[in-house]
Structure 1
Amino acid sequence: MVFLEGGNFRTGINDPSSRTGEYPVYNSYVRPYYIDRYPVTNAQYRKFKQTKTRYKTEAEDKEYSSVFVNFLSDGQKQTFKEDPVQDGWYNVRGTTWNKPEGFLSNIEDRMSHPVVHISYEDAHAYCFWVGKRLPTDMEWEYAARGGLDNQAYPWGDRYMKMRMNVWQGEYPTEDKKYDGYDNTSPVDAFPAQNDYGMYDMLGNVWEWTTTKYYDRVIDRATQPLRYTLKGGSFIDTRDGNHNYIVRTANKIGRKPNYSSGNIGFRCVMDMSKEELYARLHASTTTPKPIRIHRKEEMFYDEYGHPRRKKKKKIGSHKEL
C-alpha cells in the first residue's frame, strides 16, 4: 500500500459539457490513509474465495453477469439478452469472477489482471476480510492526482500513449489495440501513472467507491441507490467519442448489485490512532512557537498537543 498524508485539494474538472458529475471544480479534504498501489487481482481474490468458501458473489448468486459483445460467439449473442446498462454488452449465463466470458472461459492466464464481475457488495466483503475498506470518491481521486492540481490525467494535462488500457478505433467493431490489449491487462502492464507510484488508476477497469452517485439535473429523492465508480475502463476512450472519456475526475454510477467484465476495485486503510500520534509527536520534537495573534503564541507539550502560553499579569495579587 501507499501512504498518503491527505489534506486539501481541488477535485473535478472545469468542463461544463461533462455529463457525469465531475463538473464543477470544488475544494475537498481527505485525512491521512493508505491505499493499494494496484487494483485487486484475480490471484488475490481467489485466495479470498478459497478461505471464504461459502461466500457467493453477486454474479454467482444470480448466475449471470455482463460480458462485452466482442468476446461472445454468434450463438451466445442470439441466446442471451443485451445488458440495458451498457451498450454492446450481454448478460451471459455462467459468467463469474473466475469465468469472465461464460462457462468455457477461465482466468488461468490472467492471475495478474484485475478481478472483474465484482459487485459493490463483493468488493466490500473482500476489503472487510483483509482488514481494509473501499475508498471514498475523494480518497480515490486524491490518490490518482498524485499531487497535481486540476490536471486531466494523473501524470499531467497532456495525453500520453502507452500509459493506460483504453479503446482505440471504431466502437465496438474495431479495436486497433495500440496499447496491446483488447480486454483487461495486468495491473502492472503500464508504468506508474503518477508521482505517488499508483498503477492502473485510469483505464483497464472502473473501480468501486463508497460514495453515492447522483445525476446533476434530477431530483435526488427520485434516483435509485447507486455508488460511484472511478477510472474508466478498456472500452472507454481518451476523447469520449465512444463510451466515457477517461480522465482523473470522471465518474459513473452503478447499483450495488451490478457486475460486469470492466468493473473492479482497490482497497484503502485508515491510519491507526497510535501511528497518527507517533507521527505528530515525531514532527514536533523541536517545536517552534507559532504566532497566531499579536500577543499570543502557541507551543506543543511533550505529547504533541498545542498549548497557548499563559501571560503574566503584572500587578496581580500573586506578585503582590
Structure 2
Amino acid sequence: MVFFMHGAMAQVGDKVPLGNWAIDRTEVTIGQFERYVRATGTVTRAEKEGGGFEYGAGWERRPGWSWRHPDGLAAGAATRADLPAVHLDFAEAQAYCRWAGGRLPTGAEWQKAGFTELRDAPPAPWVKGRTYPWTTGDSPQGANTSDADPWPRAAPAGDTRQGVNGLYDMGANVWEWTSDARGPERRTVGGSWWYGAFNMKADVQAFKPADFYAVYIGFRCAYDLKPQDPQAQQRPSKTRP
C-alpha cells in the first residue's frame, strides 16, 4: 500500500494533557493504524467480510472499502496517511488504543475535552474554564460538515479549524467511538462530514452496535497520566486556534 504525507502530520500523535489524563489531538489516522497493523498482524472485519458500509438505500456494503482505502481506491493506489482511520468497529478501535498505551474515552471525558477549555494558559481567543457551544468555539465555522466547506468527504488531520483545548475534529469529520455502553451498543459522538453542524452539538449522540463499522466512524484515544508523566508538559500549538 502506498501512502503520501501532508504538512499537518506534525500534529498527529500529539497528546493533549487535561489534568490527570490526556487525549489525542487528532483522530487516529490511517498512517497510525498502519503501524499498529504491521506490529500486530491485525486484519479488520471490514477486510475479512468484503468491505465497509456506506449509507445509500439503507446501509450498503462497499466491496474493497476498509481503513486502507476508505472510499474504495484500487489496491496500490496512493492513500493519504493523514486521513482518519474508519471502517473499524468498537473492539478494533479499543484494541488499537490499548496497543498505543491508552483506551477509548468515556462520553463524559470526550464531551469535557471537546467543549470546555481546560488548558492553564490557552492562547487567544480561548478562555480557561469556559464551555463553548461548539467544539470549534463560538461557531461551527471551519468544521467539516455537510455545509459549505472545502472537504467533500473526510478531511485530513489538521486541515480543519483547531478547536477547544487545541483539538481537531471533535465535532464533524467522522463520528468517534467512546466506551459508554447501552446493552450491545456503544456511544458515538461528534457527528460527521455527512451531517450538518447540528450534530456537532454536545447533546447529540448516537448509540451504534459495537460490531458495526462504516465510512463515517473513527476514533481517538485517551490516556491516564501519572503525576510525573512527561506528557503532562503541554506542547505549544503551532497552528491557528
User: Which TM-score tier does this pair reach, normalised by the shorter chain?
Assistant: 0.7 to 0.9
- 1:152 aligned onto 2:166: no
Deviation digits for residues 34-65 of structure 1 (CA, Å, limit 9, x no counterpart): 11111100110011111112x22121232232
* AA in 2 matched with 1:199: Y
- Structure 1 residues 44, 119: CA separation in 2 closer, same or farther (over 3 Å shift)? same
- 1:46 aligned onto 2:26: no
SS in 2 for 1:227: strand
- The structure showing larger relative contact order (alpha-carbon pairs under 8 Å, at least 6 residues apart) is 2
Q: CA deviation at 1:257?
A: 0.9
* AA in 2 matched with 1:252: A
Q: Give me the identity figure in percent.
A: 27
What is the match of residue 207 of structure 1? 176
- TM-score, reference length from structure 2: 0.77
Separation of aligned partners in 2, 1:269 and 1:140: 12
What is the match of residue 202 of structure 2? 248
Q: Is the 8 A contact 1:40 1:265 kept in 2?
A: yes
- The 4+ residue runs of structure 1 with deviation greater than 6 A are none
Q: Is the 8 A contact 1:116 1:260 kept in 2?
A: yes
Separation of aligned partners in 2, 1:267 and 1:115: 12
Separation of aligned partners in 2, 1:270 and 1:155: 25
What is the match of residue 192 of structure 2? 233
- TM-score, reference length from structure 1: 0.59
What is the match of residue 108 of structure 2? 138
What is the match of residue 236 of structure 2? none
Q: CA deviation at 1:275?
A: 2.8
Unaligned 5+ segments in structure 2 are 1-14, 118-128, 233-241
* AA in 1 matched with 2:45: E
- Structure 1 residues 180, 117: CA separation in 2 closer, same or farther (over 3 Å shift)? same
What is the match of residue 198 of structure 1? 167
What is the match of residue 124 of structure 2? none
Q: Of the two, which has the highest radius of gyration?
A: 1
Task: Map 1:87-166 to 2 at 5 A.
Answer: 90-102=60-72, 104=74, 108-147=78-117, 151-156=132-137, 158-161=138-141, 163-166=142-145
What is the match of residue 215 of structure 2? 261
Task: Map 1:51-62 to 2 at 5 A.
Answer: 51-53=39-41, 55-62=42-49
Q: CA deviation at 1:186?
A: 0.8
Separation of aligned partners in 2, 1:124 and 1:229: 13
- 1:36 aligned onto 2:36: no
1:4 to 14, 18, 22: 18
* AA in 1 matched with 2:139: Y
Unaligned 5+ segments in structure 1 are 6-31, 70-80, 84-89, 169-177, 214-223, 240-244, 280-320
* AA in 1 matched with 2:99: W
Q: CA deviation at 1:149?
A: 5.2
Separation of aligned partners in 2, 1:107 and 1:187: 20
Separation of aligned partners in 2, 1:107 and 1:183: 18
Task: Map 1:14-33 to 2 at 5 A.
Answer: 32-33=20-21
Q: CA deviation at 1:227?
A: 0.3
- Structure 1 residues 152, 99: CA separation in 2 closer, same or farther (over 3 Å shift)? same
Separation of aligned partners in 1, 2:88 and 2:154: 14
Q: CA deviation at 1:107?
A: 7.0
Q: Note the aligned Cα RMSD (angstroms).
A: 2.2
Q: CA deviation at 1:150?
A: 5.4
Deviation digits for residues 90-119 of structure 1 (CA, Å, limit 9, x no counterpart): 212332111223363677342111111011
